[in-house]
Structures are given as C-alpha cells and as structure tokens.
Structure 1
Amino acid sequence: FTWAQTRRKMNQSLVSEFLLLGLSWQPQQQQPLFLLFLIMYLATVLGNLLIILAIGTESRPHTPMYFLCNLSFVDVCFSSTTVPKVLANHLLGSQAISVSGCLTQMYFLCLFADMDNFLLAVMAYDRFVAICHPLHYTAKMTHQLCILLVTGSWVIINLNSLLHTLLMARLSFCADNVIPHFVCDVSPLLKLSCSDTHLNEMMILTVGSLITFIPFVCILVSYIQITCAVLRVPSTRGRWKAFSTCGSHLTVVSLFYGTIIAVYFNPSSSHSAEKSTAAAVIYTVVTPMLNPFIYSLRNRDLKRALWKGFLKKHIFCLIESIPILVSRK
C-alpha cells in the first residue's frame, strides 16, 4: 500500500511540459532580442536559400559547390530548429514546450549540429584532394563518392541523434521543469532528470565524443597535408593561389571550432548556463547566418554562379518586364 501511494505521488509529480527561460530574464531586453533574432533568422534563410538556388541553376555544379549546397540546406534547418520557437514564445507570451516537443527539438538540434561537423570534414577532404592531388581530382572525387560521403554522414548522425533522444525519453522528470536556456539541449535536460543518467552521460562521453572529434581530426590532418603541399610550391603567387582555394572553408572551420574551444575548453571559468546559451546562439544563429556571406565573398565559383545562374537571369527578367508594366499603365 505504501509503494502504491509512492508510485501515485511520483506519477502526479512528473512534468508534462518544460519552461524555456529564453535569452534574457530582463523584460527591457526582450523586445530588442526579438528584433535581432528575427533579422538574423531572415538573413540566414534568405542567404542560404540564395546559395542553394544559385547552385541549383548550374547545369553541372562542381564538387565543392555540391557540398556547399548541402551545408546551406543544413544551416537553414539548423536555425529553423530553434529560432522560430523563440520568436513564437515571445509573441505568444509563453515559455512552455511539451516534453515530446522538447525531445523532438533536441533530436534535430543534435542532427544538424553533427551534420555541420561532418560536412566541414568532407569539404576539408575535398580541398585536400584538390590541392595535393590536382591531376587526379576528377578521378578521385567522383559523383558517386560525393553522394556516398553525404549519404553516409546523414545515416551516422541520424543514428547518433536517435540514440541520445531514445536514452533521454526513458528518463523521468519530476517537479522542476524550468530550463535555463532558449533551446532543449542535452545537458540542461540531464540536470532536470530525477532518474539515473549514468548511461546517458556514458554515451555522450563515448559515442558523442567520437562523432565530434573524428571529423575534427580529419579536418586537422587534411590541413596539415595541405600546408605541407603548399609550402613546397616554389612561387609566392602559387602558394597564395593554393591557400585562397580553401580560404572560405578555413574561415568557417575556424569560426565553428573556435567557438567550441573558447566556450567549452576555457580553463579560466567553469561551464555555466550563460556559456551554454552563448554557445547555442553562435551555433544556431550566428554561424549559419555568416556562412553565406563568407562563401559569397571568398569563393569565386559561387560569385560566378550567383551572377550567371541567378541574379543575372532575374535582373534581366525584371528589366524586360518594366516596358510591359509601363505600357499597361
């Protein structure tokens, strides 16, 4: 009888929804943050969609452009996983998110974050083959290999995200349902659980670490090989041309991993909710917004695709339609 009462009391105390505190607890900062996030989200979606449309209009897009198109798609989905919920909560005046909705958001957050990581590694390998083995580039980076690399990445990160989501779904959450974050991330949810989280933490340290660090090691090895190959080029102009080939990708890699190192591997201060929130903002909003600008400014192939394949076509259509509109008036 005592156990039945205890069980009934636990079932009554289980939470059915979480409360996301958002970015700031101060009311005077809510409106400026809403406008800032809205502008950044629109810039992210428009910038990445423009890249996808520009590459899609190319009759035979180059291999780097194929990977860039996938990266832009992932960036749009990455921001769309979190930012619309933040904006909707502000407009509705609600901080609530259901348990199932929170787990779904956590799944897609892990999915697109890991896919960003894998795509950066695949693009680093592509740059390695282009610079270190230029004569064999077309033979090695075939269309079938590109599809295999991207498809294999999607399969691996889907399994990883599904693993962490299922392990999180088996936990119980009692009493406290306040998440000091604007997104349902793994770490804040584990702190709220009243179940044994040992298995979850072990999987994060093993599987999650492998998913994160293996692509990073691949990027590091690729750029070590690229640097050694470039330093063997006799002319300064040739070295500069080789480095400029991977300049945009190296900028994005530095931004992505620089944030991770600065936030999570800083010995001067311990890990806190504020640092987690700052890292999530950079991952989900800032980096996806900056990627289109970085590639547009530094990638000549993308500039050519934007002008020939998309902007030029639509500008000419607009110019040709002006006399028709004037004659109708």
Structure 2
Amino acid sequence: MSRSRRVHPAALAVLAIPLVAIPFVAPALAVSAVSGAMTYGAEPGHGAGDSVESYGGGSGSGYPGGYGDSYEGEPGAPYQQGLGTSTQPVDSEPATGSESTGVVLIDTTVDYGSARGAGTGLTITNDGIVVTNHHVVEGATSISVTDPATGWTYDAAVLGYDDVHDVAVLQLADASGLSTVAIDRDDANRGDEVTAVGNAKGQGSLAAADGTVTDPSTSITVDNEDGTASSLRNLIETDADVVSGDSGGALLDEDGEVIGMNVAATSGSAEISGYAIPIDTVLDIASQILAGTVGEGQAA
C-alpha cells in the first residue's frame, strides 16, 4: 500500500546542485535545452556494456533554449527546494566500474552562463538517449553530459519531458557506442539492499552509497513557497545517503541493475531518506516521449 508523506520544502532536497555562480540561481528549478555538438578528449570507445533492455534511436524534436524560473540568494547559500544536504557525514565512496556503467554526469548553465548546476543521468541507448529528472535540466540555456568511462563530454538537447513525474529525455550530440545501464523492472521490496550512484555534491565524479529499501511505494508532497503543493507518487524510499547532485542517478539492486532513478532526499534531520522513481515508470515515460506524446505533463 502506498504511504503518503508531506514534506516541508526545507526538509526536501531536490538533488540538482548549484555550483559557484554569479548571481546565485537555483538550477534545480531553472534549466532548458540546447542543440549542437561539443566534445573533448579522445574518440569515445565502442565497447557498449550489456543492457537488459534497449530503446530506439534518438529521433525527436528538441526544445529551444530559454529561461526557466530562477531564484536569487547569497552566493553559496542553499535554496530550500533546490538544494539540501544531510546533517550527517556523507556515507559514500567512489563508485566502482560496474556501478558506474551507463551513469553520466550532467552540467548545465542558466541564463547563458550566469549560473551553473550539476546532476546525473542514465544512458539507455548506445547512441546517446539519456534520462534524468526534469528539474535537473529545466530552463537551461546549455546542457553538457560527460561519460566518466571515456572522459568525453557531449552537448545535449532535451527531446521532451514530463513535469508531473519529473522525468526528462536528452539526446547527446554525435554519440555512438556508449555503454548503457542494466535495467531490472521487478518491483522493489522492503529490506532489499540497494546502492545509490550519482554525481554527489556535484564533484564531477560518481559516488556510491549503500542502503536498504525502507518503503517500496511511498508518496511525498512538497509545500512550495508560493503556497502551492507538488506531489511525487509511488516512489522507492531508501536509507542510502542520497545527497545534492544525485538527481537523475541510479538506484541499483544487489545485482547492480537499475531499479530506480534518484529524485529527492530529506535534509536537516538525523534520519536520512532518499527517494527514487521506479525505473519502470521512467522508461514508460521515456517511450512515450520518444513516440511523441506523454501521458501527463508537457507533450514532446
């Protein structure tokens, strides 16, 4: 049975992380799309990793760059909804090669460089289709994605998004031969061992935090500063130390397969709870976006 939890914005961390920016903007709520190609380093390898499922190529319409909602504050100060950090030391370590397979680093700029942000994504096709949270890329004027396995960085465009479920689909420019994440569509169970993998604290490398599933189907409601409320339903709750920057990252089962995509975490409390969208939900939405429609939210 789904359990609903109401969370004050100060206690919920949407996990995109702002870097040093002038002026300070909360990119968790301000990011969009761009087109074009930009790569660095050596030619990407063509040794694609095993994937339980694969999706069609990257056809679709991109969205023009634009301006998202932005919120100003003191440089380096956390924005309540856009950034939150644990009150305890981060219980994580560098992700292993197998934990990192198909997981990518996302960097965004807002307002043509006046602010920057960081998050994480999951590669689902060899030619560069990546899923992440909508809040990671909402309003961005440029998006770059780095494959830590090769060191290559790609320009990315948003193919479409579902803002109700907080899912977006990106296409990496001129990408081929990428490793993809392994998928497990089976339902999570309470007590299952899991590992959260992401760009923790926006450090530009992948970290892994172990934990267990504390609730396989829960809902959270965020009280927004404008008096409205937004809800995310049927999330996987875990006690893994999910932190800022992990948005769009992988929640792995004990076999190293993705069962969820990290989306939020509590902060400012002794007990840490991380939340992930079930990968089955993410991939169903991605399929609709690639087909040209989504069930809820913005049509592709």
**What band does the TM-score fall into relative to the shorter chain?**
under 0.3
Q: Which has the larger radius of gyration?
A: 1
Which one has the bigger helix percentage? 1
With normalisation by structure 2, the TM-score equals 0.24
Q: Which has the higher contact order (CA 8 A, sep 6+)?
A: 1
